[in-house]
């Protein structure tokens, strides 16, 4: 069972890396950045088409208003040319270190500059530099998703809920039913969190995330990190970064009502709402990052990976209990490690916030 789960995770990671490699390898020597609906961009497009420039030169068109990857590439290349963000706009043509911005400069100078660029054989150098830049950024994004999901996965809240569930089912004397209930509960949490994450990602993407809002996401990460550090040094003082105490009796009664896998699956959706205040911190930060940096298909793959890692401890604990591990022993271990879990979560959240605020992600 463990080998199968590990193999699935490895294959999933390899598929994501393969997709990213393919995307990163799609580069061209000369980049024409434009925006959908931009009248000045339309003039440049007409100029290129009338003079057959798309066939004469290796020009690659990239729309930046609705494509986050292209927008990121646009800002990265202009940033390397030391062009302030306040002076960037479309239409723009980038030939290595040479930048033509605005319809008239492009129309008046493109052919001359394109000839110079090809004579200087800048294509290979430009491709290599671009591939390195994009691969570095994609690796950071993937790393952030993995770290964020691991932090969420060790959250003490989900352990507590699962342990109560397994103890309740085991009381019937049927270990196999307990395993199925644990897996059904894990599947329910996975589906619920994935759908909530997808909905929030879509909402943030449609509205568009400004640099200012992205900075707010960074500060949120730091604040949540500090709150978790508070629970390490002064556990139980003021408030807890866990399920609110007033909710716990209702949550426990809800879980204790489960007697079979179908009930565990149904209860999982309701329990996910109870867990949100406790587990949503890293998820919100990662969703904000994806809405800012990643577009559609990649974001869905990232969300699938995040939630697969998030529920993996639930699956492993369910299997361990089925094999004879005492859930009361698991609860003792959880209680002893509560502060350490908050410390790890707090430090990672603060580091993620700093990375976002510094623009390293």
Both tokens assigned to 103:
């319809």
Helices 2-25 and 123-153 meet at what angle, rounded to 10?
150
Measure the CA–CA gap between 281 and 283, rounded to whole angstroms: 5
pLDDT band at 81 (very low <50, low <70, confident <90, very high): confident
Q: What is the pLDDT of residue 102?
A: 92
pTM of the prediction?
0.61
Q: Indicate the pLDDT class of residue 2, thresholds 50, 70 and 90.
A: very low
pLDDT at 19 over 50: no
What's the pLDDT score for residue 212?
66
Higher pLDDT, 191 or 8: 191
Higher pLDDT, 18 or 324: 324
Does residue 306 register a pLDDT over 50?
A: yes
C-beta separation of 260 from 177 below 8 A: yes
Binned at pLDDT 50, 70 and 90, residue 34 comes out as very high
Nearest to 351 by CA among 144, 210, 155, 150: 144
- Return the CA Rg of the chain: 25
Cβ neighbours, 10 Å, residue 209: 18
Q: End-to-end alpha-carbon separation of the chain, Å? A: 36
Question: Measured between alpha carbons, how far is 44 from 35 in angstroms, rounded to an integer?
Answer: 11
**pLDDT band at residue 294 under the 50/70/90 scheme:** low
pLDDT band at 277 (very low <50, low <70, confident <90, very high): low
Domains, the chain, in order of start with CATH, read 30-121 (3.40.30.10), 135-357 (no CATH)
136-171 per-position pLDDT tens digit: 444 467 888 888 888 887 776 766 776 777 777 676
Q: Could you read off the pLDDT of 222-232 as tens digits, one per residue?
A: 888 888 888 88
Between 192 and 236, name the one with better pLDDT: 192
Tens digit of each residue's pLDDT (9 = 90 or more) over 164-199: 777 776 766 678 888 888 888 889 889 988 998 888
Q: What pLDDT, on a 0 to 100 scale, did the predictor assign at position 209?
A: 57
| Nearest Cα residue to 306 out of 24, 20, 16 | 16
Specify the pLDDT at position 130. 46
């Amino acid at each position: 069972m463990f080998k199968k789960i590990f193999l699935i995770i490895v294959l999933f990671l390899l598929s994501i890396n393969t997709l990213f490699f393919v995307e990163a390898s799609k580069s061209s020597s000369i980049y024409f950045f434009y925006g959908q609906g931009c009248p000045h961009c339309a003039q440049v497009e007409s100029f290129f088409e009338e003079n057959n420039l798309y066939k004469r030169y290796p020009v690659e068109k990239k729309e930046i208003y609705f494509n986050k990857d292209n927008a990121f590439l646009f800002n990265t290349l202009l940033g390397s040319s030391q062009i302030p963000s306040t002076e960037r706009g479309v239409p723009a043509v980038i030939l290595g270190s040479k930048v033509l911005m605005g319809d008239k400069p492009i129309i008046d100078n493109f052919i001359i500059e394109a000839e110079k660029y090809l004579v200087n054989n800048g294509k290979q150098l430009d491709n290599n530099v671009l591939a390195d830049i994009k691969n570095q950024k994609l690796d950071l994004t993937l790393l952030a998703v993995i770290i964020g999901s691991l932090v969420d996965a060790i959250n003490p809240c989900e352990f507590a809920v699962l342990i109560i569930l397994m103890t309740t089912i085991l009381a019937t004397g049927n270990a196999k039913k307990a395993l199925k209930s644990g897996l059904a509960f894990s599947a329910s949490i996975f589906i619920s969190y994935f759908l909530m994450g997808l909905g929030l990602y879509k909402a943030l993407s449609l509205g568009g995330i400004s640099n200012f809002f992205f900075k707010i996401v960074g500060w949120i990460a730091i604040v949540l990190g500090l709150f978790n550090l508070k629970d390490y040094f002064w556990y139980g003082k003021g408030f807890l970064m866990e399920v609110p105490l007033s909710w716990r009796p209702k949550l426990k009664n809800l879980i204790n009502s489960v007697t079979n896998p179908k009930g565990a699956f149904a209860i999982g959706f309701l329990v996910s709402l109870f867990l949100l205040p406790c587990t949503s911190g890293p998820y919100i930060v990662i969703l904000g990052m994806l809405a800012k940096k990643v577009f559609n298909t990649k974001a869905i793959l990232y969300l699938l990976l995040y939630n697969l890692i998030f529920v993996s401890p639930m699956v492993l604990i369910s299997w361990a209990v089925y094999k004879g591990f005492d859930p009361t022993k698991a609860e003792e271990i959880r209680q002893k490690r509560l502060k350490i879990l908050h410390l790890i979560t707090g430090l990672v959240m603060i580091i993620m916030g700093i990375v976002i605020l510094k623009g390293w992600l």
